[in-house]
């Protein structure tokens, strides 16, 4: 089976010659094959050669200023593919900043210090309080930090600080001072249908256990996180950097982080790489017109609702 499955709006994105060519040659092949067209993206199959697929993604990424590598946080395959893509970019001479959803803006000074003084990437687990802050095992992310250390890539603590997120989720944006509220408020045009969809998704993600009155505030908090991440990405772009973003795939949906960055910086070339667990409808809509969906094996996530139920439930 070919490792590339063409979407209905594109032609095939694979070929023997492309697999043996340079990164620039792969980029040219993508353009000539219609894969870089604005209308549509393409899908990489689960059973393809991951090294070649990473080079294919890097070729497409070479045309963008911002590349999102959207993960399911506890899927180790996604993290392995992220490292492969970053390695392919580095081999092509790209030296991006590396922005993490898992690191919050209030951590930036300690992140800078840790990256400067760390005795190897494994030491960053404790220094960044990775597991203590609730993220999956650091070993899955360690190869990304190893590349950042070896190639001296800036690491951006991108997300909104958790205290502000909790305040918004509990009481809404109105609880913030005006200047802070303006900095984190959504830049998207009003769209009731979009907001209703986000409310449904947040309710479902919390297993229907949230009070109805809390859901709109949680949507505001989700937007605020995306706005702040977009602002930090924009700062790196202002410094002349390309940016690779390590982020949960849910933030890449329509109305999410790429749309907020577009609202703040129209015309910025962005690429969404959506690592999606199979089985998945190969022709499900992609997150955006400039997107790649890379199908992977799934993992056992356990009962996603267990932690949200009270002990008596």
- The SS3 call for residue 107 is helix
Tell whether 111 and 217 lie within a shared domain. yes
CA dist 114 and 144 (Å) reads: 15
CA distance 103 to 118: 16
Domain count of the chain?
A: 2
Q: 33 and 63 in contact (C-beta within 8 Å)? A: no
Name which of 19-33, 127-141, 228-242, 293-307 the model is least confident about.
19-33
Q: Is residue 92 part of a domain?
A: no
Residue 87 lies in a domain: no
- Looking at the structure, do residues 104 and 192 belong to the same domain, yes or no? yes
pLDDT of residue 16: 32
pLDDT at 26 exceeding the cut of 70? no
Asked if residue 195 and residue 125 are part of one domain, the reply reads: yes
Instruction: Classify residue 47 as left (phi > 0), alpha (psi -120 to 50) or beta.
Output: alpha
Q: What is the pLDDT of residue 274?
A: 96
| Mean pLDDT, residues 80-104 | 97
Regarding whether 47 and 124 lie in a shared domain, the answer is: no
Residue 234: the pLDDT is 98
Residues 143 and 59 in one domain: no
Q: Is residue 72 part of a domain?
A: no
Distance CA 182, CA 15 (A): 49
Confidence of residue 21 (pLDDT cuts 50, 70, 90): very low
Separation between Cα atoms, residue 148 and residue 115, nearest integer Å:
8
**Binning pLDDT at 50, 70 and 90, where does residue 283 land?**
low
Q: Is 137 part of any domain? A: yes
Q: How far apart (Å, rounded) are the C-alpha atoms in residues 208 and 201?
A: 10
- Average pLDDT over the chain, rounded to an integer: 86
Is pLDDT of 15 > 90?
no
41 and 154 both lie in a single domain: no
Q: Which of 195, 248, 199 is nearest to 225 (CA)?
A: 248
Range of the domain at 247: 98-268
- Whether 193 and 230 map to the same domain: the answer is yes
Whether residues 238 and 102 fall in one domain: yes
Asked whether residue 121 falls in the same domain as residue 149, the answer is yes
Q: How high is the pLDDT of residue 40? A: 53
Instruction: Looking at the structure, tell me whether residues 107 and 241 fall in a common domain.
Output: yes
Supply the pLDDT for residue 310: 53
The Cα 164–Cα 205 span in angstroms is: 21
Q: Which residue has the higher pLDDT, 6 or 66?
A: 66
What pLDDT sits at residue 280?
A: 72
Residue 142 lies in a domain: yes
User: Percent of the chain at pLDDT above 90?
Assistant: 73
Share of the chain above pLDDT 70, in %: 83
Determine, yes or no, domain membership for 304. no
The verdict on 103 and 149 lying in the same domain is yes
Q: Does residue 1 sit within a domain?
A: yes
Band (259; pLDDT cuts 50, 70, 90) = very high
**What is the rounded average pLDDT of the residues 279-295?**
78
For 131-169, how does the pLDDT look when each residue is reduced to its tens digit (9 = 90+)? 999 999 999 999 999 999 999 999 999 999 999 999 999
State pLDDT tens for residues 174-188: 999 999 999 999 999
Task: For residue range 230-256, list pLDDT tens digits in order.
Answer: 999 999 999 999 999 999 999 999 999
Give Cα separations from 252 to 81, 152, 198 (angstroms): 17, 27, 12
At 185-232, the pLDDT tens digits run: 999 999 999 999 999 999 998 999 999 999 999 999 999 999 999 999
312 occurs within a structural domain: no
- Tell me: do 187 and 199 sit in the same domain: yes
The predicted pLDDT at position 31 comes to 34
pLDDT at 96 exceeding the cut of 50: yes
User: Which tens digits make up the pLDDT trace of 265-275?
Assistant: 999 999 999 99
């Amino acid at each position: 089976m070919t490792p590339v499955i063409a979407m209905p709006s594109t032609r095939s994105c694979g070929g023997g010659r492309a697999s043996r060519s340079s990164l620039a040659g792969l980029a040219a092949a993508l353009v000539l094959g219609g894969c870089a067209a604005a209308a549509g993206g393409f899908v990489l199959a689960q059973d393809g050669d991951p090294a070649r697929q990473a080079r294919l993604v890097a070729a497409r990424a070479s045309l963008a200023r911002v590349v999102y590598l959207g993960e399911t946080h506890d899927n180790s395959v996604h993290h392995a593919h992220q490292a492969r893509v970053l390695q392919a970019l580095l081999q092509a001479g790209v030296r991006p900043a590396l922005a993490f959803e898992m690191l919050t803006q209030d951590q930036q000074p300690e992140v800078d210090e840790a990256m400067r003084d760390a005795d190897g990437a494994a030491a960053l687990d404790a220094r960044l309080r990775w597991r203590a802050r609730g993220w999956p095992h650091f070993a899955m992310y360690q190869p990304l930090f190893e590349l950042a250390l070896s190639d001296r890539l800036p690491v951006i603590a991108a997300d909104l600080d958790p205290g502000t997120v909790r305040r918004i989720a509990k009481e809404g944006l109105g609880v913030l001072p005006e200047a802070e509220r303006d900095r984190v408020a959504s830049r998207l045009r009003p769209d009731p249908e979009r907001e209703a969809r986000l409310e449904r998704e947040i309710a479902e993600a919390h297993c229907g256990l949230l009070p109805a009155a809390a859901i709109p505030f949680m949507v505001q908090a989700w937007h605020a996180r995306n706005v702040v991440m977009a602002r930090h990405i924009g700062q790196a772009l202002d410094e002349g950097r390309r940016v690779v973003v390590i982020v949960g795939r849910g933030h890449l949906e329509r109305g999410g982080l790429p749309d907020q960055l577009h609202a703040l910086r129209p015309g910025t070339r962005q690429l969404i790489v959506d690592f999606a667990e199979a089985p998945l409808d190969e022709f499900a809509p992609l997150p955006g017109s400039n997107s790649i969906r890379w199908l992977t094996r799934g993992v056992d996530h356990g009962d996603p609702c267990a932690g949200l139920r009270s002990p008596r439930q």
